[in-house]
Amino acid sequence: MLILDISSLGVEFTARLPKKHADQIGRKIQTLLTSPYPPDSKTLVGFPLLRVHAGEYRIIYQVYGDVLAVVLIGRRNDNDVYRRLKRIFL
C-alpha cells in the first residue's frame, strides 16, 4: 500500500464540497492507494501525471516510489483543472 501525499489545493477543494462528493473522492483515493493504475486512469499529455475520474470530479495524481501524490482535484466537465495545472507546472 502506498503513502498518501495530498496537496493543499486538493485538501482545500474537497473541503468546500458537499459531504457526499467529498466522500466519493475519498473512496476513489483509497482505491488508488491499493491499485494506483486502474484501467480508467489516463496519462496526461505533456505532464508526468495521471488522471482518474471520481463521479463529477477529476483527480490528478502521480506515483513515485511508495508515494501517491494527489496534485489537484477539480470538476470534470470544465477545463479549469487543466488551466490550474498549467499554472502550477509552467
Q: What percent of the chain has pLDDT over 90?
A: 77
pLDDT of 83 strictly over 80: yes
pLDDT at 46: 86
pLDDT score of 89: 80
- How far, in Å, CA of 8 to CA of 72, rounded? 9
pTM of the predicted protein model: 0.92
Decide the pairing of beta strands 50-54 and 42-43: antiparallel
For residue 41, give the DSSP letter. Answer: -
Residue 1 has pLDDT above 90, yes or no: no
Query: What's the rounded mean pLDDT across residues 10-28?
Result: 95
All domains in the chain, ordered by first residue: 3-89 (3.30.2310.20)
User: What is the residue-wise DSSP string for 45-86?
Assistant: TTSS-EEEEETTEEEEEEEETTEEEEEEEEESSSSHHHHHHH
Grid cell digits, residue 51: 488522471
Query: Mean of the pLDDT values across residues 65-82?
Result: 90
